Amino acid sequence: MALRFLADHCVSNIIVQTLRDEGHQVVRLRDVLAVESPDRAVIAKAQEIDAILLSMNGDFADIVTYPPKKYKGIVSLQMRNHAEVLERLLKRLTEYLRTQPAQEHYRSRLLVVEVNRIRIRE
């Protein structure tokens, strides 16, 4: 079952292509909104198109500003300026997506994806 993502402007082509290669639908922010759109507009667009927001912007991992229960899913990738971990981070993410292939699983949840773990906040 394919998941639907909205990839924030900070998400690299490698990440987008990896998810597409896994069979997921990934809409790029630049295809539906101006790249410089404020965070509120970005997450509103994800809601509008019924997509899980995929971002490397740490702001979306703030559950006070963006309480997971209000959204259709947020995946926050945490590389912390260490590009060398990208392959391992993607492996962790894609393995998790394979075990949880239903879009509904991500609703009202924030997944903070790190190299060694995935934290889930509700």
Residue spans per domain, the chain: 4-121
Amino acid at position 43, single letter: I
What's the pTM? 0.94
Whether 11 has a pLDDT exceeding 80, the answer reads yes
Whether 16 has a pLDDT exceeding 80, the answer reads yes
pLDDT tens string 52-88 = 999 998 899 999 999 999 999 999 999 876 778 899 9
State the pLDDT confidence band at 105, using cuts at 50, 70 and 90. Answer: very high
State the pLDDT confidence band at 8, using cuts at 50, 70 and 90. Answer: very high
- pLDDT score at 70: 97
The overall average pLDDT reported for the chain is 95
DSSP 65-111: TS-GGGSS-EEEE--TT-GGGHHHHHHHHHHHHHH---GGGGTT-EE
Question: What angle in degrees, to the nearest 10, is found between the helix axes of 13-21 and 86-99?
Answer: 30
Whether 1 has a pLDDT exceeding 90, the answer reads no
Average pLDDT over residues 35-47: 96
